[in-house]
Copies of this chain bind each other. A is one copy, B any other.
């Protein structure tokens, strides 16, 4: 299958969230045009995005909501259960350990790690903070799919290296640094400073 752009995947996520809302309202079908309006895009874009994976619509009618919803979940690999570990038990890590949204979407948080002696043994919900040195050994047993990295800038490169060595193929990065990984590992970075700077840029360059 040919390469799918990240922007496409983001839109698929978005469509799915709309479909779930619409499904709850009990509507049975939806057109590419309505989906486009919800997502701030064009109907052609919606159809092209979906057509990369198959033809799910009926001409003249649109898309059956539960059907398309199911297909998108399938495409996005939801439905599978992914095993997640959190690395870094600071403020963000702790907040994530308490976050309900993971389990709701089939992401099972299995462990939380830190380097800091003082934090090891602390409990967050049902998880006890473990030393990062155990990561690789644990991974051999537990087969983590995703590492959520929430460490300070300095320790991040080393932590990422360990995660990669442990065979983890997807990283959600909250550390305020760029991370480098082999090409078979996927990274998504969430960086407050970068988002704020983007807004600052937009504000500074309005109307010229």
Please list the residues of chain A having a beta carbon within 8 angstroms of any beta carbon in chain B: 1, 4, 6, 9-10, 12-14, 16-18, 38-40, 75-78, 80, 82, 91, 95, 99, 101-102, 105, 107, 145-146, 169-172, 176-178, 180, 184, 186, 188, 190, 192-208
Interface residue from B17, B101, B178, B200 paired with A177 (Cβ < 8 Å): B17
Q: Is B13 touching A145 in the complex (CB atoms < 8 A)?
A: no
Interface residue from B9, B102, B180, B199 paired with A186 (Cβ < 8 Å): B199
Q: Is B205 touching A77 in the complex (CB atoms < 8 A)?
A: yes
A113 to chain B, nearest CB (A): 18
User: 8 A-B Cβ contacts within 8 A?
Assistant: A1-B208, A17-B177, A17-B193, A18-B178, A82-B200, A101-B193, A169-B202, A170-B203
